[in-house]
């Protein structure tokens, strides 16, 4: 019983790093992994080239992670992995690999169409994602040290709150709300007279991300 | 809406019409962004100069950047930005 | 409500830092909210043009 519970307390995360944008997400997701480890989660870290379809399907089938955290590029109907290989699309959803899972997709537009499919056809418990492109600022000179990039932090730190809140046992709704609440707080700060340059210029992207971040499925879903 | 506004309009994916007035505004707002900041959007990263080219070309990326800017300004002026949802 | 009154209402509700940002381009010259306010207050031609462009952009509105 204990082994079963431990196996279910697991996080599967995809972290491709084949271009500057995914590289940023690769590094910023490390913070989430660290917290997952502290909480005793088994981590299925599909980093770099491991973020491919075969590996993903294999891990989901064999280890049945309850929480899936996707980083990478996307569109209305796909979530991509390393080198933009399609990881999730309609056909995968139909294989019932997503049943009962809580999913956060930090990729562009996947909430526009795919989210609905994942929840209705795929029977995912809950899905948090973005209906339009997810955006953030970065600063030159931090390509090899994205975690020190204060411009990127403005957006990526509050977006990390979604998986962190879920790992801490919060519901999907609570995770969504917590992230949006933090983004709003940062947005208001970015509009203040003491905002930094990068805060002021991040404001339009923050607002866009807040407006486009959606939750579908069971708001009370937990892992 | 006057005739001048009807010139050179394009409909973007987000449903926003890109007029010359909007394009000029976004170009100038982008010029005010420090050159060492980059915009990561739609899976790509753009320097200030690259973003300007996209906006001037009125391509998909440029139009998206324009839409994000104008939506921000509209939410600001309408007061919607102060609402909690 | 006339455009000037509407502008004043909007301007008053703008965050201080935002007032220093570019809001319109008139005759190829950018104008921040503060600059527009000065022109509008003094009923100049530039001010009138700025208001017209703000209206065209959907920025002269309240919720």
Domain membership of residue B85 (yes or no) is: no
Domain membership of residue B39 (yes or no) is: yes
CA distance B5 to B76: 22
Closest CA to A146 of A134, A136, A161, A131: A136
Domain count for chain B, please give it: 1
Alpha-helical segments (H) within chain A: 2-8, 20-38, 53-63, 90-93, 114-120, 150-167, 172-190, 197-212
B26-43 pLDDT tens trace = 999 999 999 999 999 988
Residue A119, pLDDT score: 78
Domain membership of residue B38 (yes or no) is: yes
11-50 in chain C: CB under 8 A from chain B: 13-15, 18, 21-25, 28, 30
Could you say which residues of chain B have pLDDT below 50? 1-8
Tell me which chain B residue has its CA closest to the CA of residue C59: B74
Q: Which residues of C touch A200 (CB under 8 A)?
A: 17, 21
Both ends of chain A: CA-CA distance in Å?
17
Contact between residue A217 and residue A149 where contact means Cβ atoms under 8 Å apart: no
| Number of residues assigned to chain A | 223
Residue A90, pLDDT score: 77
The A10-15 sheet, strands edge to edge: A42-47, A10-15, A67-71, A102-106, A126-130, A213-217
ipTM over 0.85: yes
A91-130 pLDDT tens trace = 766 567 888 999 999 988 888 777 777 778 778 899 999 9
Contact between residue A130 and residue A151 where contact means Cβ atoms under 8 Å apart: no
Tell me the pairing of strands A213-217 and A126-130: antiparallel
Q: Which residues of B touch C13 (CB under 8 A)?
A: 79
CA C42 to chain centre: 13
Neighbours of A39 (CB within 10 A): 13
Residue of C23, C28, C31, C36 to mutate, interface with B, max B Cβ within 10 Å = C23
Is residue B75 within 8 angstroms of chain C, CB to CB?
no
Q: Which residues of C touch B72 (CB under 8 A)?
A: none
CB contact under 8 A, A21 and B34: no
121-150 in chain A: CB under 8 A from chain C: none
Calculate the dihedral angle through the C-alpha atoms of A156, A161, A167, A172, rounding to the nearest 10 degrees.
-120
Residue B16, pLDDT score: 63
C21-54 pLDDT tens trace = 999 999 999 999 999 999 999 999 999 999 999 9
Residue A199, pLDDT score: 97
Domain membership of residue B1 (yes or no) is: no
Is residue A197 within 8 angstroms of chain C, CB to CB?
no
Give phi and psi for C23, each to the nearest 5.
-115, -30
- The pTM is what? 0.91
Is residue B41 within 8 angstroms of chain C, CB to CB?
no
Both ends of chain C: CA-CA distance in Å?
14
Domain membership of residue B82 (yes or no) is: no
Range of the domain at B18: 9-74
State the DSSP H helix or E strand holding residue B71, giving kind and residue range, or none if neither.
helix B60-78
Q: DSSP secondary-structure letter at A74?
A: B
Closest CA to A84 of A16, A29, A12: A16
CA distance A42 to A203: 36
State the DSSP H helix or E strand holding residue C41, giving kind and residue range, or none if neither.
helix C33-41
Q: Is A105 exposed, middle or buried (0-12, 13-18, 19+ CB in 10 A)?
A: buried
Radius of gyration of chain A (CA): 17
CA distance A150 to A153: 5
Domain membership of residue B41 (yes or no) is: yes
Residue B11, pLDDT score: 58
Domain membership of residue B84 (yes or no) is: no
Q: DSSP secondary-structure letter at B10?
A: -
Residue B53, token pair as written in the block? 């080219």
Residue B1, pLDDT score: 41
Closest CA to A105 of A75, A134, A70, A132: A70
CB contact under 8 A, A208 and B39: no
Contact between residue B19 and residue C21 where contact means Cβ atoms under 8 Å apart: no
Could you say which residues of chain A have pLDDT below 50? 1-7
Residue B12, pLDDT score: 60
CA distance A151 to A137: 6
Residue A41, pLDDT score: 96
Residue A6, pLDDT score: 38
Domain membership of residue B19 (yes or no) is: yes
Residue A76, pLDDT score: 86
Q: Which residues of B touch C54 (CB under 8 A)?
A: 77
């Amino acid at each position: 019983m204990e082994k079963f519970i431990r196996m279910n307390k697991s996080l599967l995360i995809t972290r491709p790093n084949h271009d500057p944008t995914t590289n940023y997400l690769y590094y910023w997701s490390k913070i989430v992994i660290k917290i997952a480890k502290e909480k005793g989660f088994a981590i299925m870290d599909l980093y770099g080239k491991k973020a491919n379809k075969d590996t993903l399907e294999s891990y989901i089938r064999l280890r049945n992670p309850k929480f899936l955290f996707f980083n990478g590029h996307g569109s209305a109907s796909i979530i991509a992995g390393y080198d933009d290989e399609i990881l999730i699309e309609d056909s995968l959803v139909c294989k019932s690999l997503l049943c009962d899972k809580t999913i956060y997709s930090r990729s562009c537009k996947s909430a526009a169409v795919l989210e609905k499919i994942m929840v209705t056809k795929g029977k995912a418990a809950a899905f948090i994602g973005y209906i339009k492109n997810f955006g953030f600022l970065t600063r030159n000179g931090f390509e090899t040290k994205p975690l020190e990039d204060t411009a990127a932090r403005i957006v990526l730190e509050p977006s990390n709150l979604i998986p962190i809140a879920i790992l801490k046992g919060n519901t999907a709704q609570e995770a969504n709300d917590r992230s949006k609440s933090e983004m709003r707080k940062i947005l208001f700060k970015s509009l203040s007279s003491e905002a930094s340059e990068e805060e002021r210029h991040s404001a339009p992207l923050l607002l866009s991300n807040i407006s486009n971040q959606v939750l579908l499925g069971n708001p009370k879903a937990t892992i | 809406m006057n005739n001048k506004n009807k010139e050179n309009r394009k409909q973007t994916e987000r449903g926003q019409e890109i007029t010359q007035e909007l394009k000029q505004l976004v170009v100038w707002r982008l010029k005010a962004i420090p050159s060492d900041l980059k915009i990561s959007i739609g899976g790509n990263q753009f320097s200030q100069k690259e973003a300007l080219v996209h906006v001037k070309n009125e391509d998909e990326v440029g139009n998206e950047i324009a839409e994000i800017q104008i939506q921000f300004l509209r939410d600001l002026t309408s007061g919607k930005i102060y609402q909690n949802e | 409500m006339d455009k000037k009154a509407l502008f004043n209402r909007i301007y008053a509700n703008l965050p201080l830092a935002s007032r220093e940002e570019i809001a319109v381009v008139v005759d190829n010259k950018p104008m921040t909210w503060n600059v527009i306010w000065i022109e509008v207050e003094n009923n100049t031609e530039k001010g009138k043009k700025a208001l017209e462009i703000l209206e065209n952009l959907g920025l002269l509105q309240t919720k």
